[in-house]
Structure 1
Amino acid sequence: MPRNARDQCFTREWIERQRVGIKADPILLEKAIYCLELASQLCMAGLDFLLKGGTTVYLLLPQIRRLSIDVDVATSSSREQIERVLEAIVTEGLFTGYEEAIRVGERHERIPKLHYEITFEPRTPQRRGYILLDVILEEPGYTTQMATIRAPFYEPTQEVQVRIPTANSALGDKLVALAPDTTGIPFGVNKELPRIKQLYDVGMLFQEADDLEEIADAFARSVEQESRFLRAGYGVDSVVADLVNLARLTTMIDLRGAREEARTQEIRRGVNALKSHLIGGRRYNLIPEAKADVALAAFCAGLIQRVSRGGEVSSLLTKVRTVAEGDPGALPELVRRARLPEGFDFVQRLSRQSPKAAVYWCGSFDPALFGDI
């Protein structure tokens, strides 16, 4: 299988030049380049699959914000078909081998998923060069589109098209992956960074989302799929409630009266760990960025719930997003007028610390603040 990227993309000189230009960790940047190349070669080998995960976000956003160092796909192809393709890719020589990475635990055993470590000869100072390929052996069935595999640090020799979720579908899917006590990444399993990666991507995709029906459809399909895999009785309502609880826990951190616990410590560690994966000198802190993103996740979940019940939400998503991104000085007064349910009085205090987060909570509980819907 011929490689798609120009040979220079895999040299130490190229990685160093690109690292300086985009202010990236060189080891993570090298892995990100190989992820794009693996996705390209899977396409060129004729494997029928849907590209998911962080690599997909590259292709959906106008600017790359963070590096993705694994490749997530969904496919109806068999293990045998997948491994024949991997054999062909390794034979070409850029990738030096592959090995199945066995995951243990009841949750892993229930999900029809394969994990592979794909190795390469690194040009950066890492002991062993490899990226992860995660394969779900069933497609989710939501709306997709075709996209060209590209990135500023990846120069292809030809245009390779890959099937990916739309921004709306990706947002709905990632919201489901964020819910810790139902369908998403649980607490207490050393997955602090993956959880915050999902949260960061939710915040980025939200800015591109434009079709609430499509978001809700992807959310419902992903909930059904995960619930079936896990042999659980989760539905849209239980996952929405889970997301609201996560948002409440996160946005209360460091407010008066909030308690520090194991879960809040995990959230802090995840936010701190994400910083090395961001490029361009971008900041991402618990206050205000992560709090705003988790509150907008709860807001989106609430809108999805209304859609699932046949409710009319019209342009509320756009209206609340516009207000949250508007004049920061006007936000505290809007929050002060909000009618909040019992147990959410902390939102008033939150408006001084993370105004955007407070606005998204208001959009969840008092949509009349934002005009007719």
Structure 2
Amino acid sequence: FAPNTIGIPYGKNKSMEIIKQLFDLGILFEHITDLKEIGQTYKNISQIEASYRDIKTPINIFLDDSINTSFLICQLNFRGSIKDKYTKELRDGITRVKSHIIDGKYSHLNAKEDASKVACITSLIRDNRLNIDIKGLKLDKKYIAKIKNINLPDEFNILNKLKVVSPESFHLWAIATKAI
């Protein structure tokens, strides 16, 4: 899930496939037991994908691509959100992927939740924070009130709106951006 680098690329009429990757990663997130293994697997697969495309770029560029794409999805429909050819393609993919999901339901909120999971995991890999407790990635409902006092760094400020619409997504972004 890095459409500017090693993932299914933008601009190839594959918006549904880009979002299907996001959907699949959202499901896989729920089954993570070992972040170190995930980090090593990501590094191995990204090297293979990069070699197929003759890309000689550090892995952090691929991870940043995933984080930036996740950011674009999470800020969709918020006042002041980025509106460009990429967000248009991502919106199209969110609409189109519904026909490839068993119950046919996948909303912008579902995409934001999955994108938050991807942003969190890729940030942890990029920053080599792989010793974090997996259970700590899940927002304990008793701490929802506490997140009201947390703000994301300026470049992610628009995502503070997730506190209301998806506290769990906000919590993952707070971990990703080291706000908590």
- On whether the aligned pair clears a TM of 0.5, the verdict is yes
Match of 1:277 in 2: 100
Match of 2:71 in 1: 248
Q: What is the alpha-carbon distance in structure 2 between the residues aligned to residue 273 and residue 261 of structure 1?
A: 18
Q: What is the alpha-carbon distance in structure 2 between the residues aligned to residue 232 and residue 312 of structure 1?
A: 26
Q: What is the alpha-carbon distance in structure 2 between the residues aligned to residue 271 and residue 295 of structure 1?
A: 15
| Structure 1 position 366 matched with structure 2 position 178 | yes
Decide which of 280, 290, 293 is 2:114's aligned counterpart. 293
Decide which of 2, 26, 36 is 1:203's aligned counterpart. 26
Match of 1:182 in 2: 5
CA contact (8 A) 2:19 2:93 kept: yes
Q: What is the alpha-carbon distance in structure 2 between the residues aligned to residue 312 and residue 360 of structure 1?
A: 15
What is the count of residue pairs matched by the alignment? 180
The letter of the residue matching 1:304 is I
Decide which of 263, 268, 276 is 2:86's aligned counterpart. 263
By how many angstroms is 1:314 displaced?
A: 3.0
5 Å-filtered alignment, 1:152-231, equals 178-231=1-54
| Structure 1 position 320 matched with structure 2 position 137 | yes
TM-score, normalised to structure 2's length? 0.90
Q: What is the alpha-carbon distance in structure 2 between the residues aligned to residue 231 and residue 201 of structure 1?
A: 26
Residues 15-48 of structure 1: per-residue CA shift (max 9 Å, x gap): xxxxxxxxxxxxxxxxxxxxxxxxxxxxxxxxxx
Q: What is the alpha-carbon distance in structure 1 between the residues aligned to residue 95 and residue 155 of structure 2?
A: 28
Q: What is the alpha-carbon distance in structure 2 between the residues aligned to residue 304 and residue 180 of structure 1?
A: 18
CA contact (8 A) 2:35 2:130 kept: no
The letter of the residue matching 1:268 is R
5 Å-filtered alignment, 1:324-339, equals 326-327=140-141, 330-331=143-144, 333-339=145-151
By how many angstroms is 1:182 displaced?
A: 1.1
SS in 2 for 1:344: helix
Unaligned runs of 5+ in 1: 1-177
Match of 1:347 in 2: 159
TM-score, normalised to structure 1's length? 0.46
Identity across matched positions, percent: 27
5 Å-filtered alignment, 1:48-59, equals none
The letter of the residue matching 1:354 is S
Structure (1/2) with the larger strand percentage: 1
Residues 277-320 of structure 1: per-residue CA shift (max 9 Å, x gap): 222x352101x21001011101000111233xxx56331x3211
Match of 1:237 in 2: 60
Q: What is the alpha-carbon distance in structure 1 between the residues aligned to residue 51 and residue 101 of structure 2?
A: 34
- Cα 1:358/1:314, change in 2 over 3 Å: closer
The letter of the residue matching 1:240 is L
The letter of the residue matching 1:353 is V
CA contact (8 A) 2:119 2:176 kept: yes
Which structure's CA Rg is the greater one? 1
Q: What is the alpha-carbon distance in structure 1 between the residues aligned to residue 155 and residue 167 of structure 2?
A: 19
SS in 1 for 2:56: coil
CA contact (8 A) 1:240 1:301 kept: yes
The letter of the residue matching 1:187 is Y
CA contact (8 A) 1:306 1:313 kept: no
The letter of the residue matching 1:340 is L
Q: What is the alpha-carbon distance in structure 2 between the residues aligned to residue 313 and residue 334 of structure 1?
A: 24
Unaligned runs of 5+ in 2: none
Q: What is the alpha-carbon distance in structure 2 between the residues aligned to residue 257 and residue 239 of structure 1?
A: 26
- More RCO (CA 8 Å, sep 6+): 2
Q: What is the alpha-carbon distance in structure 1 between the residues aligned to residue 50 and residue 96 of structure 2?
A: 29
Please list every run of at least 4 consecutive aligned residues from structure 1 whose deviation after the TM superposition is greater than 6 angstroms.
none
Q: What is the alpha-carbon distance in structure 2 between the residues aligned to residue 214 and residue 259 of structure 1?
A: 34
